[in-house]
Amino acid sequence: MRVLSALDRLIGGIDDALRSVTGNAAGSGRPYPADDVAETEMNETERRHAAGLIRVDHAGEVAAQALYHAQALTARSAAVREHMRRAAREEGDHLQWCSLRLRELDSRASLLDPLWYAGSFTIGAFAGLAGDRVSLGFVSETERQVEEHLAEHLQRLPAADQRSRAVLAQMQSDEERHGADARDAGGVPLPPPVPQLMRGVALVMTRSAYWI
């Protein structure tokens, strides 16, 4: 197997970033969860609200790609590095699904996606540099908060929007599994101030991405 040079890794990282912020991240090839769900009629207010929620979820998946890319880059063990890469591929499915659903709703992704990626990559790099067990603990806490966020969105979606509901329900199930996998791999709980800070950063992103 060819050993990648620093330039190879740099080029690969730039490619990952561009794919993520354009909604074209590599996925695992799973089918779209809404394939067998009929599109139902919504009024303009409902459609715009659904699009705003999916845009937030799309931005969250851009951030997730950045976190996993950075944590894979800074992982100390090959096992943890592969764990992060595998999770990134499944999160890539989420990003693709959200991109497709936005198109179906005649909407667009957040204009701030490059900012979400850059900021999240920085956070992920610091988590990775703190050590593999802390990095895995960061994944566990991130996924726990994302689960809560998706549960809220499932409640807030227009009742008629069953296609978006199918997508978010599958994402929620995946996030729960990712968190459990990180804990099983040795992730440790984060000190109390960190989860609160994470919630604060997420709140800024969700409020901004809904509109912008």
Q: What percent of the chain has pLDDT over 70?
A: 87
Of the candidate ranges 65-79, 94-108, 155-169, the one whose mean pLDDT is the lowest: 65-79
Alpha carbons 81 and 205: distance in angstroms, whole number: 27
**pLDDT computed for residue 160 by the predictor:** 92
Q: What is the pLDDT of residues 162-194, one digit of tens each?
A: 999 999 999 999 999 888 988 988 888 888 888
Is 134 in contact with 113 (CB distance < 8 Å)?
Answer: no
Positive or negative: CA dihedral 22, 97, 138, 157: positive
**DSSP per-residue string spanning 30-42:** PPPTTTTS-----
Q: What is the pLDDT of residues 37-49, one digit of tens each?
A: 888 889 999 999 9
Positive or negative: CA dihedral 107, 112, 117, 120: negative
Indicate whether 55 pLDDT > 70: yes
Whether this prediction's pTM lies above 0.75 is answered by yes
Q: Using CB atoms within 10 A of its CB, is residue 180 exposed (0-12), middle (13-18) or buried (19+)?
A: middle
Q: Which domains does the chain have, with CATH numbers?
A: 41-209 (1.20.1260.10)
